[in-house]
Chain A
Amino acid sequence: MEELQVNSIVCIKRVPDSETRVRISADGNSIDRSGVKFDMNEYDKYAIEEAIRRKEEAGEGTVTVMTVGGEDAKETLRQALAMGADQAVLLRAETSLDGLPVAIALSDEIRGREFDLLLFGKQAIDDDGMQVPAMVAELLGLPAATVVVSLEIDGRRAKARREVEGGHEVVEFDLPGVVAAQKGLNEPRYPSLKGIMAAKKKPLEEKDVTLVGGGLELIALSGPPARPEPQILGEGTEPVAELVRRLREEVKVL
C-alpha cells in the first residue's frame, strides 16, 4: 500500500535485565539497585522495530520515543535512537509500581501530538503490570490492540492479531491507535555503529513531571516464598517408580 508517511510514538522503559537476581533493599520498599544490570524492556524493542519499519516502508515519518524515568533512562532512550528512532522525550520522575500515574503522565504529554501509531511493549518486566498501554488508549480515547504478534496497515485501517489462550484474536481498528507489542511481532534490529554515532546528535527533550492520580500504595516488598527442601531421588530410570509413588501418595498430584 502506498503511504505518504507513518508517524509513531513509542513508549519505553528501562528495567533490570531478566537474568538479574533481585534483592530487596533494607527499607523493604525498593530493590537493591547495586550490581543490577539495566536494559531496555525486551518487549519495547519489538515496538521500536515496528515503528521504524512502518516509517521505512512508507518512506517518510517520524519515530518519537518517550519514557517516564530517572536520569539514567537517557541511556535507554539513546539506545532507541541508535536503533533508528528520530527523537526522544524523557519525562523525568520517579517511576511507580502503580501504572495509572505513569499512564496519565504519558497521555498528558502525547495529547496534542500528531501520530498514526502509539506503540508500547506489551508489559514491562519489572512491575509486570501489563496495563499502561490500554490505560493510555482510554485516556486518549483511542482504539487499542494489546499483546500483538502481527500488524497489517492498509491506508487508515489496521488489522492486528493478539495472543489469547489457545490461539489468536483478530483485532481491527482505524488509525490513530495503540498497539502493545508481543514477542514475535518482528525481529528487532541491533543498533549499528553508525546508528550509535548518529544517536548522539539526535534531539532528546527533557521535562520534569509529577506523577499524580494514583490510588495504590506500596506497603512492602518481600522475597518469593521459600520452596520445600529439594529431594534428589536418584539417577537414571531406577528412581522413576519412587517418583510416581511420591507424586501419588505424598503430594497427591497424580
Chain B
Amino acid sequence: MADVMVYAEMRDGALRPVAREAVAAARRLADGLGGSVVALTFGTAGSAEAAKGLAAFGADRIVAVESEELSRYSPDAAVGVIESMSNQLSPAAIVFPASAQGKDVSARVAGRLKRSLASEVTELAADGGTIVVTRPVYAGKAYARMRFTDSPALVSIRPNVFPAVEKAGAGALETIALPATESKTRITGMEQGARDRLDVREADIVVAGGRGLQGPESWGILEDLVEALGPQATLGASRAVVDAGWRPHGEQVGQTGKVVSPGLYFAIGISGAIQHLAGMRTANVIVAVNKDPEAPIFDVANYGIVGDVFEVVPELTEQVRKLRASGS
C-alpha cells in the first residue's frame, strides 16, 4: 500500500504545532507514493473537534480516538491502536513527531511491529517506491542518508524543520472509542516547569547564555531580551553553565543536551565548544556576542559582535523593544 499514517500529537485536547508539521510531511510523502494520509489523534471526548483541523494540512482520513483515559499520554493505548491500524491498512510509512511523546511512542511501535525506525529525520521523500530519509548523527556533526527496505517505514520528524504547509485533504473524520487496553506503563501526573516558556526545541528564537555571563545572577539581561523578542522566544544554555548549576538541564543546547533548529539563535557569552556547535548549527540565523574575537562561535555565526555582553545585550534589548513598539 502507498498510504501514510501519521501520529498527530495532542496535549490537553489541542493539537501540538509539531502535529501539523508531521501531517504536512506525511502529505508530501503520500503524494510522492500516490497514496492517502491517515491521521491519528488521541484525546478526551470532544478532542475530535480539534483533530478536524488536520484536513487543512493534507489529512484525507482523520481517526480520532476518544476516551476519558486519554487526558494524558497513554503509551500502551497508543501502541495498541497504531499496531491494529497498521495491520489493517498496511501503510507504506508511519510518521511521528520527534517530540518527547513522539519519540517515546515511535520506538515502542517499532519494537511492537519489529520494524526499523529513523529518528529525527530532516528529510523524508519517496524515491520511486522506496522511502529515503536523511537524519543527523553525532548530533549533526554528520548526516546519514538511509533507505527503508521494509514497510511500514517508521520515521520521526525533527520539530521546526518540516514546514506546516497548508494543503487540503479530504478530511473524513471518524471518532472511535479506545479499545480496552492493559496499561503496563501509566502516566499519572504532569508537573509543569516553573515558567510558561516554550521548550528550547520548539521556540522560533533561542537566546542562549554561556560562561561569559559570569554567574546565574546575570540571566536577567537574557530574560529581558527574550521578553522583548516576544512569545516565540525562549532561553537556552551552554553545557558549562548547566554543569555549573547556573541553569536547568532542560535548557542545555548541544550534543549532550538538546539539538535545536530555530529561525534565530543568539549565542551570548558562549565560546562555541564542538559539542555546543553540534547542537545549534542548523539554526537558520545565528548571532554571536562574545568578548573574544577568536571564539569558535564566530565561525558558525551569520552575524557577530565582539564586545562585553553586559553592554551589548541591554542595548540589543532596547532596540528590539523600540522596533516592536513601532509596530513593525
Q: Which residues of A contact B (CB under 8 A)?
A: 16, 18-22, 24, 31, 42-43, 97-100, 103-104, 125-139, 142-147, 149, 159, 161-174, 177, 182-184, 213-225, 227-228, 230-237, 239-241, 243-244, 246-248, 251, 253-254
Contacts and interface: CB of A to CB of B under 8 A. Distances in A.
B312 A138 contact: no
Nearest to A236: B307
Interface stretch (B38-46, B132-140, B167-175): B132-140
Contact of B120 (A125, A128, A244, A253): A128
What 8 A-B pairs come out closest when comparing CB atoms?
A: A138-B111, A215-B150, A134-B107, A170-B189, A135-B111, A165-B199, A131-B107, A22-B141
Contact of B300 (A166, A221, A230): A230
Contacts of A227: 281, 286, 299-300, 302
A182 B242 CA distance: 14
A134 B112 CA distance: 10
B28 interface: no
Given A146-B104, A230-B301, A253-B264, A220 B73 contact: no
A11 to B, nearest CB: 14
A171 B108 CA distance: 15
A240 B305 contact: yes
5 contacts: A135-B117, A138-B112, A171-B188, A236-B307, A240-B315
Contacts of B106: 131
B85 interface: no
Contacts of A43: 256
Contact of B256 (A125, A159, A165, A254): A125
Contact of A217 (B75, B142, B149, B191): B149
Interface in B290-308: 293, 298-308
Interface string B73-105: 101000100000000000000000001110110
Nearest to A241: B319
Contact of B305 (A135, A142, A170, A239): A239
B143 A164 contact: no
A230 B146 contact: no
Contacts of B140: 224
Given A98-B116, A230-B304, A231-B302, A136 B103 contact: no
**Which of B104, B143, B191, B205: most chain A CB closer than 10 A?**
B104
Contacts, number: 276
Contacts of A127: 137
Contact of A234 (B186, B202, B305, B315): B305
Interface on chain A toward B: helix, strand, loop, or mixed SS? mixed
Given A97-B137, A128-B120, A173-B186, A223 B142 contact: yes
A18 B274 contact: yes
A251 B197 CA distance: 25
B273 interface: yes
Contact of A253 (B103, B141, B284): B284
A126 B278 CA distance: 12
B185 A237 contact: no
A221 B145 CA distance: 6
A253 B306 contact: no
A243 B147 contact: no
A19 B139 contact: no
Nearest to B108: A134
Contacts of B246: none
A218 B185 contact: no
Contacts of A126: 137-138
B255 A125 contact: yes
A167 B192 contact: yes
Given A135-B107, A216-B116, A244-B316, A231 B303 contact: yes
Nearest to A104: B114
Contacts of B148: 215-217
Contacts of A130: 103, 107, 119-120
Given A144-B108, A167-B192, A222-B145, 15 more contacts: A125-B255, A129-B117, A136-B111, A162-B100, A165-B100, A166-B192, A177-B184, A183-B249, A214-B149, A216-B116, A227-B299, A233-B305, A237-B312, A243-B316, A247-B287
Nearest to A99: B117
Contacts of A174: 184
A145 B192 CA distance: 18
